[in-house]
Amino acid sequence: MKKSEILFSDELREYILSTLREEEALRRLRIETSKDQNAIWQIPPEQGQFLSFLIKLLGAKKALEIGTYTGYSALCVALALPDDGKVITCDISEDFTNIGRRYWQEACVAHKIDLRIARALDTLAALIASGEAGTFDFVFIDADKVNYDHYYEKSLTLLRPGGIIAIDNVLLFGSVIDPNLLDDELRARITDEDIRVVRTLNEKIKQDSRIDETMLPLADGLTLVRKR
């Protein structure tokens, strides 16, 4: 099972892509990233457009992203934020995020993006310690899957009531129902522990009385959680 092919034929997906609006900087960043061997972790453009839509729907001004990679989703969020809005984005890689920085500048939204190079759990703990619990409108979780439950809990603490967490890769390319659905390339990247953590979190969210939830079959599965 390849990315974004859960529901649609190649032809139908091409049609969906032909209907999207994608800013020039986003398009060029996506094409540059597609040449990287880790490009499988980049969100597809229809998902980026959906995140932008959510930011505007929420009227979000303060966002958090866990897992920057080359900065495509941060750019989607930043473009949708008002000029005085801010997205804090967490990653451990200078190399990947430096690619994003160029496009953030080009799109004139670099002032809205606060990149924190550190372990995301440390950045989240520091935000909570500095009194920012309950202040974020939106969180996007899209980093190492083994820490997903920790990211979820910290994000819920940082989120305001009515705010939304979007959690990516909740289907883990089909492996949540059967690890044998992964091809060799994906099997080399996704561990049994990743699968266990994502399955467990999906079950936990279903039962979690602190939130409302909906799992969308978009790209590799995107769960939206609204804090009560």
Closest CA to 153 of 178, 124, 177, 131: 124
Closest residue to Ca ion, judged by C-beta, is: 168
Closest CA to 199 of 173, 168, 170, 161: 170
CB-wise, 65 or 168, nearer to Ca ion? 168
In the complex, the smallest distance separating the C-beta of residue 193 from Ca ion, rounded to whole angstroms, is 17
Q: Report d(CA 134, CA 155) in Å as an integer.
A: 9
Q: Report d(CA 15, CA 55) in Å as an integer.
A: 25
194 binds Ca ion (CB under 5 A): no
CB-wise, 37 or 207, nearer to Ca ion? 37
In the complex, the smallest distance separating the C-beta of residue 43 from Ca ion, rounded to whole angstroms, is 6
168 binds Ca ion (CB under 5 A): yes
Q: How many helices (H) and strands (E) does the chain have?
A: 9, 7
Strand 222-227 to 211-216 pairing? antiparallel
Q: What is the DSSP string of 187-215?
A: HHH--HHHHHHHHHHHHHHHH-TTEEEEE
169 binds Ca ion (CB under 5 A): yes
Residues 128-147, interacting with Ca ion (CB under 5 A): 142
In the complex, the smallest distance separating the C-beta of residue 4 from Ca ion, rounded to whole angstroms, is 11
Segment lying near Ca ion (by CB under 5 A), choices 9-17, 32-40, 164-172, 184-192: 164-172
CB-wise, 45 or 126, nearer to Ca ion? 45
Residues that bind Ca ion (CB under 5 A): 142, 168-169
